[in-house]
Structure 1
Amino acid sequence: MEPATTIQLLGAGAFGFLVGWFVYYLNRHRSADVRFADLVSLIGAIGGGAVLALFPAGTDLFGAYGIGLFAGFFGYLLVLVLLVWRSENFTIDYLIDGRRREVAPGQRLPDGPDRGAMGADGAPERGGPRR
């Protein structure tokens, strides 16, 4: 087996980065509770047969994929932490349970599918999601 070229290593790493970023995104924005089947599906997607066919285990390509996967997954978290840190509307509580600061008088949250029921003042109605 011949060694992987630089472009192959970069491609495997970039592919891993995209998969890692997307996995974190999907888990962050899921609406249902986590089940064991979800974990099995996740492991299958990350290290399943298709990935091992592209990047055989024990090769430099698989190593680059693993590094990209790590960088994408934790890169998403890092970007989220930086955005929360720089924002005046969110505190670290957002990363824990989705809380945000109260909407200022005269302002309202945008309507959207994830906002739940909004009151006349633009704030979530009692019992609605706290996003």
Structure 2
Amino acid sequence: MSYEVDKTESEWRAELTPQEYAVLREAGTERAFAGEYTDTKTTGVYSCRACGAELFRSDTKFESHCGWPSFYDPADTDAVELIEDRTMGMLRTEVRCARCGSHLGHVFEGEGYATPTDQRYCINSISLRLSPDEA
């Protein structure tokens, strides 16, 4: 897959912390309830920590009590790439940044949350950077 932001793994390693690299570039997962945005209520825009692309907005963030920030819809359907993930002995849908290919988390459907899309984008805080709205 070719991405607009295309860097070598050594360039990514130089720009990201070891924890950021493990999640964004190696599809790792941060510990549940440990991320900085899990319970954040701040109004603003969530962008990819690796490339800065706008991914989600606070008005689609909701409380799922799963241990990671949850959104019911990306800011733009073209902002994310959805990929079948058969790791861990299950079928899931991985969510990646469409601009740089960084791993963000997974999306789940049909869980019964009272959201307009019945989807839960379960995203690692470390994959995001929140830019609060101006007061």
Q: TM-score range by the shorter chain?
A: under 0.3
Higher strand proportion = 2
Higher helix proportion = 1
TM-score, normalised relative to structure 2: 0.26
TM-score, normalised relative to structure 1: 0.27
Higher-Rg member (1/2): 1
